[in-house]
A = this chain, B = another copy of it.
């Protein structure tokens, strides 16, 4: 049978592209493998050569989606500003990315957080990655370790949790977020007891 002429990697990439475009237009739940396949010019069964199942394709979409976010927070971690300042920037970056997406691609953003909620490994890995970045920043700031990073993350839930974030970015929210980060950091610095 006629090959597509695409390498396996390119075929995967193309499928993810097409899926993402379709999700943007028609929403997450209405994605049909047959449509993705048609747009690629193959039969729907051909997709199963590249993805174990539909969930695997969706995971690949998710991954591409998370990739940009990862790049942005990573560049902040690698910055040269004082650690406390980078923590603030780090949260602001996350807020901007997520709220902007909640605004521009609500279908994808909320779809995600319902359909693929928490328990998917791709998401868990991403969350673990974020936690590690924050833990490093907190340690660099001399304000603690894993526990303190977790506390900070929890304190910022109202600004970052998908249920609570709302479309944006909105300057007032961003200002409130910055203030809360500074307050929590100041509070941590003022805590009695040893610091690693």
Using a CB–CB distance below 8 Å, which chain A residues touch chain B? 150-151, 154-155, 157-159, 161, 163-164, 176, 179-180, 182-191
Q: How far is the CA of A159 from the CA of B153 in the complex (A)?
A: 12
Q: How far is the CA of A176 from the CA of B96 in the complex (A)?
A: 27
| Main DSSP-derived SS at the A contact region | helix
Write out the residue numbers on chain B whose beta carbons fall within 8 Å of the beta carbon of A183: 151, 155, 184, 187-188, 191
Interface pairs A-B: 10 shortest CB-CB:
A187-B187, A183-B187, A154-B158, A157-B158, A186-B187, A186-B190, A163-B163, A155-B155, A157-B157, A151-B180
Docked-complex contact A157 and B151, CB < 8 angstroms: no
Most B Cβ at <10 Å: residue of A183, A184, A189, A190: A183
Q: How far is the CA of A161 from the CA of B155 in the complex (A)?
A: 12
Q: How far is the CA of A184 from the CA of B184 in the complex (A)?
A: 5
- A-B contact list, 22 entries, CB within 8 Å: A151-B176, A151-B179, A154-B176, A154-B180, A155-B155, A155-B158, A155-B180, A157-B157, A157-B158, A157-B161, A158-B161, A161-B161, A161-B164, A163-B163, A163-B164, A183-B187, A183-B191, A184-B184, A185-B187, A186-B186, A186-B187, A189-B190
